Amino acid sequence: MTAARGHVRPFRADLARSVRLFRAFRVEQTDPDRFYGLLARDTVAQLRTYTDLADRLVLDVGGGPGYFTEALRDAGARPLCVDCDAGEMALRDGVIPDGAVLGSALALPFRDASVDVCFSSNVLEHVPDPWAMADEMVRVTRPGGTIYLSFTNWLSPWGGHETSPWHYLGGRRAAARYARRHGRPPKNRYGESLFPVSVGEARRWARRCSAVETLDVLPRYHPRWAVPVVAVPGLREIVTWNLLLVLRRR
């Protein structure tokens, strides 16, 4: 059931919320509607702590099957989903959702400063040039607009996606092991559709990007008290799990 338009549960980054998310994560493969529905509602509530969404034009970059696009619409926004893979967009019920645009995150088919909010969840690690994608997200956001950019960093326990935790021994080795055990290559192929992106690199990109002001850098799924970990080199690469950058376009 979708929430009434404009209504979203207030967001609280407490321990109970993290436990809820990590529990739901266990059914990601078997019950994606449950996991992604919950995560999308949680994410939109989190995004609303930074920006109003009512009637805002929100671009969901790499939105795939559209769970986040739908939750954004339920929150009163005017979302547009862009993805380079029509198959991913039609994953849920075989049809591409209304308003979806086929295009690349590396060359977004939108004018400069044309959206109020540019949003992306778990796409950055799937493109060969993550900082070109991040620059594109900044380019299409209007001055004063918000950029929400999150990704699973490589040294996170889930960094290798379905090949985890063997990615700690190397991406190629983890992919080969997966193929041996499952008789098929992993969906997320190291060096082709999965790339190592670090927390440190993300922070450095945000610092050198003069077109944005950083509002927050945090471990997306963790309680608020865990935020300082993103400032600790080394440790942050392992415990952050999923990094969230929230930026304001200057």
Ligand X SMILES: C[S@@+](CC[C@H](N)C(=O)[O-])C[C@H]1O[C@@H](n2cnc3c(N)ncnc32)[C@H](O)[C@@H]1O
Binding site for ligand X (CB under 6 A): 36, 62-64, 67-68, 83-85, 88, 104-106, 121-123, 126-127
- 42 vs 237, beta carbon nearer ligand X: 42
**For residues 183 and 226, what is the distance between their CA atoms, to the nearest angstrom?**
39
CA 8 to chain centre: 19
Closest among 165, 226, 229 to 18, alpha carbons compared: 226
CB of 108 to ligand X, least distance (A): 8
Find the shortest distance in angstroms from Cβ 221 to ligand X: 13
Contacts for 106 with CB less than 8 Å, ≥ 6 apart: 127, 129, 132, 133, 136
Whose Cβ is closer to ligand X: residue 23's or residue 207's? 23
Indicate the DSSP class of residue 227.
Answer: G
Question: Rounded to the nearest whole angstrom, what is the least distance from the CB of residue 231 to ligand X in the complex?
Answer: 26
- 123 versus 217: smaller Cβ distance to ligand X: 123
Please report how close the Cβ of residue 249 comes to ligand X at its closest, in angstroms: 20
Are 118 and 81 a contacting pair, CB within 8 Å?
Answer: no
In this structure, what are the phi and psi dihedrals at residue 90, rounded to the nearest 5 degrees?
-100, 15
The least CB distance from residue 220 to ligand X, in Å, is: 11
